[in-house]
């Protein structure tokens, strides 16, 4: 095609993985489109109270 590459990335899913990927991509100089089907990002981790093994707060 010979087209130039786009400087943006689409991230599908706004859980902890999607959020982290988006943050890193933006830090690396790319425009990010974060797509999430729910009303807010956070995914399952936002539902958790604590995390193993340190029992730190998950939010």
Partner 1 sequence: MGNFAAKVRRQPRYIDLDLCTGCGICADYCPIVMGDAYRENLALTKAPHRDYVQAVPASFYIDPEKCLFHSHEMCRICVSACQARAINLYEQEEMLDLNVGAVILAPGFGRISEEVLSRYGYGRLADVVTGVEFELLTSASGPTMGNIIRPSDGEHPHGIAFLQCIGTRDVSCGNGYCSSVCCMYAIKEAIVAKEHAPDLESSIFYMDMRTQGKEFDYARQRAKEKGIRFVRSRVGGVQAKGKSLEISYVDEAGKHLKEDFDMVVLPEGLESPPAAQVLAEASGIELNHYDFCSTLPFSPLKTTRAGIFVAGAFQGPKDVPESVTDASGAAALAAEVLKEARGTEVEAKTYPAEIDIEGEPRIGVFVCSCGTNIGGVVDVQSVADYAATLDNVVYSDTNLYSCAQNTQEEITETIKENRLNRVVVAACTPRTHEPLFQETIKDAGLNRCLFEMANIRDHCSWVHAMVPEAATEKSKDLIRMAVAKARGLQPLPEQKLPVTQKALVIGGGIAGMTAALNVAGQGFECILVEESKALGGNLKRMRSTLTGDDPKQLFQDTETKIRSHPLIQVHTEASVEDVSGYVGNFITSIRTNGSSESVEHGVVVVATGGKPYEPTQYLYGKSGQVVTQGELEERLTKVEGAKGINDIVMIQCVGSRGEDLSYCSKVCCGQAVRNALKILEINPSAHITVLYRDMRTYGFMEDYYQLAREKGVMFIHFDKDDPPEVTEKEGSIQVEFLDKIMGERVVLEPDLLALSVGIVPSRSEALSKMLKTPLTSDGFFLEAHPKLRPVEFSVEGVYLCGLAHGPKPISESVAQATAAAGKACIPMAKGYVTVEPIVSFVDTATCIGCGICEALCPYSAIRMIKVGKRKKAETISASCKGCGICAAHCPSLSILMGGFTNEQILSQIKALMG
List the interface residues with partner 1, window 29-48 (CB under 8 A). Answer: 29-31, 33, 35, 37-48
C-alpha–C-alpha distance, residues 52 and 8, integer Å:
35
Using alpha carbons, list the distances in angstroms from residue 13 to 1, 6, 25, 39, 41.
29, 20, 15, 12, 8
Shortest distance, position 2 Cβ to partner 1, whole Å = 10
For residue 4, the minimal CB distance to partner 1 (Å) is 7
The tokens for 20 are 């982290």
Applying CB under 8 A, which residues contact partner 1?
Answer: 1, 3-13, 15-22, 24-31, 33, 35, 37-56, 59
């Amino acid at each position: 095609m010979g087209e130039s590459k786009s400087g943006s990335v689409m991230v599908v899913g706004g859980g902890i993985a999607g959020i982290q990927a988006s943050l890193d991509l933006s830090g690396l100089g790319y425009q990010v489109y974060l797509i999430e089907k729910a009303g807010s990002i956070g995914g399952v981790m936002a539902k958790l109270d604590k995390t193993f093994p340190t029992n730190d707060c998950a939010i």
